[in-house]
Amino acid sequence: MKIISHRGNLDGPNLSVENSPQQIEKCLKLGFECEIDLRTREGKLFLGHDICQYEIELAWLLRNSSALWIHCKDSESLSLLNRLDERLNFFWHESDKHTITSKGLIWNYPGGPITNDSIAVLPEEWWDSKSHIPLKESFGICTDFPRFFEVTGKFR
């Protein structure tokens, strides 16, 4: 099962570093995959959840593409990635229960049903091992606490 860092967080939400290229690269070096928030403005690419915070180059996305889950935050970035490179794994959603990534996997809104082809998003906010099927039944989890899930195996 994959453990995906939510915006590059390792030990809980950290607004001062999340979505920064340096933090994302740190997560990747530690062996985690990473969900990032991508925005496009005037033909330039940016990382940032609510605003364009960190300008990046397409080459950076492509170089790290094997470990990135790209959440397109606007129509322009979604359209751009759809035309670009098949190595990129991207999706768009707001509060939909599910969306399908460009690689054909199900990205669940937090609390969505767990299946063997889905990503359980932010299980720390909703999952209870006594009342749900094991997280290990999912293809992966996306969490603000990847080190905790890696070390404790709480997804079992």
pLDDT tens figures, 47-72? 999 999 999 999 999 999 999 999 99
pLDDT for 132 equals: 62
Q: What residue ranges do the domains of the chain occupy?
A: 2-152
Specify the 3-state DSSP secondary structure of 39. Answer: strand
In angstroms, rounded to a whole number, what is the distance separating the alpha carbons of residues 114 and 144?
A: 18
Q: For residue 21, count CB atoms less than 10 angstroms from its CB and return exposed for 0-12, middle for 13-18, buried for 19 or more.
A: middle
pLDDT for 127 equals: 83
pLDDT tens figures, 85-124? 788 999 998 878 899 999 999 999 888 888 899 999 999 9
pLDDT tens figures, 11-60? 999 999 999 999 999 999 999 999 999 999 999 999 999 999 999 999 99
Which spans in 49-135 are helix H?
A: 58-63, 75-83
pLDDT band at 152 (very low <50, low <70, confident <90, very high): confident
pLDDT for 56 equals: 98
pTM score: 0.93
**Closest-CA residue to 108 (of 123, 92, 120, 124):** 120
